[in-house]
Chain A
Amino acid sequence: MASTMLSLASTTPSASLSTQEILKGKVRLGSGRVGTLLNKEKGNPFIKAKSFGRISMTAAVNVSRFEGVAMAPPDPILGVSEAFRADTDVKKLNLGVGAYRTEELQPYVLDVVKKAENLMLERGENKEYLAIEGLAAFNKATAELLFGADNPVIKQQRVATVQGLSGTGSLRLAAAFIERYFPGAQVLISSPTWGNHKNIFNDARVPWSEYRYYDPKTVGLDFEGMISDIKAAPEGSFVLLHGCAHNPTGIDPTPEQWEKISDVIQEKNHIPFFDVAYQGFASGSLDADASSVRLFAARGMELFIAQSYSKNLGLYAERIGAINVVCSSADAAARVKSQLKRIARPMYSNPPVHGARIVANVVGDPALFNEWKAEMEMMAGRIKNVRQKLFDSLSAKDKSGKDWSFILKQIGMFSFTGLNKTQSENMTYKWHVYLTKDGRISLAGLSLAKCEYLADAIIDSYHNVS
């Protein structure tokens, strides 16, 4: 307790000050520093004050208003990295969070990004507020990347594009929009899906249910289950689809399967909602990775697409993405865009400029754009190489005849190993390999050099632990 205790002369904690008493200046604040501060000069009233020392008012509340707040559990995905950091074993391997690593297992800032940032600095651009919908040059570039600049949806101005805070923020804008304009409509999400999807829809108060997706027996797609569940959902539901490189399984529908998925969605008047976090990063080709989205758009459907530049441009911490809504008319797109803005304004007013400018600069300059494509091919290529090496190591070391080819069939940063919770724990506690409890490994965190070690760990966990 501080030694300076000021008690209010005419009050006790239980008696509230009457307005009259205050106005008549009956409250005497005693001697000490506070008295010297009460000068009547206007302008800089606090400048003449000495810093406030510890003043304990007996009228202060003694118990926290937040005493009843419970400690929240740690985020399951981010918690893996924290545990990894605490591990002192030299063999430790972090296959938890989905951020790209080089062969040396270092974070990677793309060369084109550094070039773009230097250009931006040289130009000396200002830091004025962006419009609520974000940087116009970015919005144009991002829609064109997604659909192709010649796509009718773009030429007919039928896409409402609003810059968002990477994938999460863009999904959240869409979720809030759905809650407001499609009350009662539910979102169908794959089982499994990225852990944060449920949180986003929960916080936005949008009901959700799951459609079958992962088949543990085949370590592949439960296509019949998926179609059946989408068909069974109430008409006009939103169907959340991963554009490519499904997270966490790495299992994508084939082009034929996408056609059938599109058929059933149209049949039921559902609204497709794509999460595109890996365009260009999955196969190495921007166009190939957008083919699912373009297929749906070509059918004249209205759809939502959330984009992220975290992985494909390595802009994780800059939080740059977009929500796109393809509408049946330019007028509808304009109206939808205006309402998306109304959701963004009371959330964060307008989005951050830095990441948006980097994307706009890279995409807008032909030389930088080509360089970007090369770097993206390099990143996707490294992951494919690592998949191959892991597959080769597993096949060579595992004498059981188990088919490990799913590693090669899966695509993108993540692989669903098929390991269950206990087996995954064995990976961590015995082998110091960190992964999420659902058996998901991030290949971006694997180097060629460590493939053999990982193969040993997987084989041991799969065969010797149940």
Chain B
Amino acid sequence: MSSSNSIHSSAMKFAVKAWSNGRARAGVLHLDCCPTPIDTPSLLLSTRKGLPLFISPDLLPSLPSPDSHLLHVSPLHFLEGLSMTTISKIGGLHQMLGLHEYGFAAVPRDSIQCLPEANSTNKVGASFETPCGRLLIKPAEYMEMISSLRPELWATLADEVPAWVSDKRNKTSVDRTIKWLDECIALSPTGGAVFGAIVGGSSLEERQRCAQEVARRNVSGHCSFVDMR
């Protein structure tokens, strides 16, 4: 994730500490919930329904701290078996998972099971292949999930496409992503830091166009989606 020099939102503060000769930079991320600031570049731990896949929550403190305090959460995981009403009733991610000193970054897709299905995405919503079948997620639905889960950071809904799509389809993905960016921002709950999604495939032009549009909105950070296939 990338950002400008210093950003403040109610849950998150970010500042760049140092630059390399090139464009790399070291920064520090402050989250209200985390007792210690987190150095960036930083790796998010992947989770399944909010808990790390490989270690139980009581053993999580045995991992290096604070480096292991940022968790990636996919809101789509919770569509299987837990209603948003129940999650709200419980009080959101921190209450539900018993992880109070950990920061959650919500991004719709994960790297293994909830993958964007570009052929089924349409102007109404983004499609994902998930363990409970193919789901079409509209911005309003997505924002309902974000409001219930209350993560520290969250990415806006994107139309992610693979590198081999036509130029036309690639351009459409940028148009949709910007439209959904605005819809998500309009519905954003108080307290979370918004990360604007940046798509554009391997077209430098489209990437720039998307980034410029996102930069114009009042977001706390950017979330770039890169096709690794």
Partners in one complex: no
Chain A interface residues toward B at CB < 8 A: none
| Residue ranges of B at the interface with A (Cβ–Cβ < 8 Å) | none
